[in-house]
Amino acid sequence: MKRFVVFIALTLIGFNAEAKITDHNKLLSAQLLEFQQAMEETFALRQAAVSFFEKIQYTPVLSGDNMVILGQGMDDNLRLQHALMIYQQSYQAWVRNTQNVKQLERLTRIKGVLIALNASLALYDNYALAVYLYEKNPRLNAILNTGDQSFDRKRSELFKSGVGFHSSVNRQKIRQAITFIDANETFIREMADDDELAYLYTLMQMSPSLYVLKDRANFLKNLHSDFTFYLRQIVNYSTLGGKDTVNFISMVFGNTVGIVQTRKGKLYNQPEIEAYLKTHLKPLDILLEKTPFRLTDKLIPGHFGHAAIWLGTKTELIELGIWDHPDIRPYHPQIEDGRMIVEALRSGVKINSLADFMNIDDLAVIRHNHLSATMTREYILRTARQIGKSYDFNFDVEEQERIVCSEIAYVVFTDLNWPTQKTLGRHTISPDNIVQKVFMDNPKLSLTAFFHDGEIVDIEPKQRLADLTGL
């Protein structure tokens, strides 16, 4: 509900001639945080929708559990569709040179137009890359268009979700926004150090729909064509011309779920570094990483963008007497396979390998040096209990059922009084908040290894960490 209060406030002020420019700037920055969360959830839902379709498309009879997942997924899709439409409507008018809009600072106006454009493109991408899978399947189409009282879903909702995709008017509005952004491209590049602008511009460039709708020749030729032309173009663009479902699904797990990266991490595929870390790491070490080449790194406050916990090897867990504990036993195969990093991703809390984790540029290893054997066992089991939780798109440390990456440390190390930040009424913890504990008086946490820009920092690593984090 708080999200929509911000929407309404911004929409009202957006057309108020008496509104101060600072009001626009402040409200836009606040809404941008909410918009980023909505986009993160959109990417995760898109990925889950494609995965679930792959699982059930040839199932003879859907189970009760499948029906619940299908209904909940549709409900989540409609909720996010509504949220994106409000973002779209809040800023769409900023493309036009009205008297009120002319009062806006150029940077603020561009950010607003980019929010509206990205919301529009996300709606197109969601439909073409995920929703259409269900719509073109006769059985799933019938189920989702029937309605479901338990989800308060009316009839024909799946059909209605594609109405905007059919609209030539919507395509014209998107084209106007694209033209506006293209006209300001030089200014955008000059402002490359603005993280908010960089995030929004990169997000726009990730959309497969952008390049289809940007094609002026096809746009003018097919302005009033059937929507299937655009659908076919978007899917073909995304799959590089391929039509089979396997290629399609593989594509969705790439740039369309928002994990586009411009290159590999500088610590990726470095056997010597991985070998060093495997001998250096101890159970419950906190791993902080930075990936400046990924979109998700743009708006995370501070230097580091992600946190994880090293669970420990089989030998270490045996020595601690918890290898056969019920909280550890389900993960025996993964641990024996070298997967010992517990981290919260969009798809939920997973246990992954060091090799997969090392697609990064920077790595800080933070260790709690004041744990008794009893506390170590308790904290390892608590870490294992986080596996399987859903991702917390609201970044709220008081949320129990869902969790974000840095919240794992917050939940596990309960003997520490963690610094948090209050954002839009919620208390959050960032990876850099974890680093703060290293620099406090009589710290319980210490830096045991630090890699920056792909290289180990062996001369005054703590001072280098302080310089990079501003602590």
Each residue's pLDDT tens digit, 302-340: 889 899 999 999 999 999 999 999 999 999 999 999 999
Give the side-chain half-sphere CA count within 13 A for 149: 0
- Is residue 265 situated within a structural domain? no
Give the pLDDT score at 394: 66
- Is residue 384 situated within a structural domain? yes
Same domain flag for 344 and 252: no
- Output the six-digit token pair for 382: 């608590």
| Mean pLDDT in residue range 147-162 | 73
108-112, 268-272, 439-443: which range is least confident on average?
Answer: 439-443
Residue with more model confidence, 401 or 176: 176
Instruction: Please provide residue 251's backbone torsions phi and psi, each rounded to the nearest 5 degrees.
Output: -65, -40
Give the pLDDT score at 23: 65
Confidence of residue 296 (pLDDT cuts 50, 70, 90): low
Same domain flag for 301 and 372: yes
- Output the six-digit token pair for 169: 């008017």
pTM of the model: 0.65
Same domain flag for 182 and 325: no
Judging by DSSP bridges, how do beta strands 339-345 and 421-423 pair with one another? unpaired
Q: Are 188 and 201 in contact (CB under 8 A)?
A: yes
Helix (H, G, I), strand (E, B) or coil at 239: coil
d(CA 263, CA 360): 10
Same domain flag for 247 and 312: no
Give the pLDDT score at 253: 39
Give the pLDDT score at 299: 62
The share of the chain scoring above pLDDT 90, in percent, equals 37
User: What is the four-CA torsion angle of 435, 438, 443, 449, rounded to 10 degrees?
Assistant: 120
- Is residue 236 situated within a structural domain? yes
The Cβ of residue 1 has, within 10 Å, a number of other Cβ atoms equal to 4
Q: Which amino acid is at 95?
A: V
- pLDDT at position 5 over 60: no
- What CATH number corresponds to the domain at position 443? 3.90.1720.10
Same domain flag for 215 and 250: yes
Q: Are 392 and 40 in contact (CB under 8 A)?
A: no
Residue with more model confidence, 241 or 44: 44
DSSP-based helix, strand, coil % in the chain, nearest 5: 60, 10, 30
In the block, tokens 């090799």 appear at 355
Q: Are 199 and 36 in contact (CB under 8 A)?
A: yes
Same domain flag for 196 and 101: yes
Same domain flag for 444 and 317: yes
- pLDDT at position 33 over 70: yes
Q: Are 223 and 167 in contact (CB under 8 A)?
A: no
- pLDDT at position 128 over 90: no
Q: For residue 353, what are the domain limits?
A: 271-469
d(CA 345, CA 68): 23
> Average pLDDT over the chain, rounded to whole?
81
Same domain flag for 420 and 307: yes
Residue with more model confidence, 372 or 43: 372
Confidence of residue 364 (pLDDT cuts 50, 70, 90): very high
- Is residue 264 situated within a structural domain? no
In the chain, the number of structural domains is 2
Same domain flag for 252 and 321: no
- Of 300, 308, 293, 311, nearest to 395 by C-alpha is 300
Same domain flag for 155 and 48: yes
Last residue of a domain, one of 257, 282, 306: 257
pLDDT digits (tens, 9 = 90+) for 49-84: 888 998 898 888 999 898 888 888 888 888 888 899
Confidence of residue 390 (pLDDT cuts 50, 70, 90): confident
| Mean pLDDT in residue range 363-391 | 94
Same domain flag for 329 and 234: no
Same domain flag for 228 and 341: no
- Of 223, 255, 222, nearest to 47 by C-alpha is 255
- Is residue 50 situated within a structural domain? yes
Instruction: Please provide residue 6's backbone torsions phi and psi, each rounded to the nearest 5 degrees.
Output: -65, -40
- Of 109, 414, 444, 41, nearest to 258 by C-alpha is 41
pLDDT digits (tens, 9 = 90+) for 212-234: 777 654 544 444 444 454 454 45
pLDDT digits (tens, 9 = 90+) for 401-429: 777 788 899 899 999 998 877 665 667 88
Give the pLDDT score at 397: 65
d(CA 3, CA 9): 10
User: What is the four-CA torsion angle of 345, 351, 354, 359, rounded to 10 degrees?
Assistant: -20
d(CA 95, CA 108): 12
The Cβ of residue 149 has, within 10 Å, a number of other Cβ atoms equal to 7
Q: Tell me the Ramachandran region of residue 240: left when phi exceeds 0, alpha when psi lies from -120 to 50, beta otherwise.
A: left
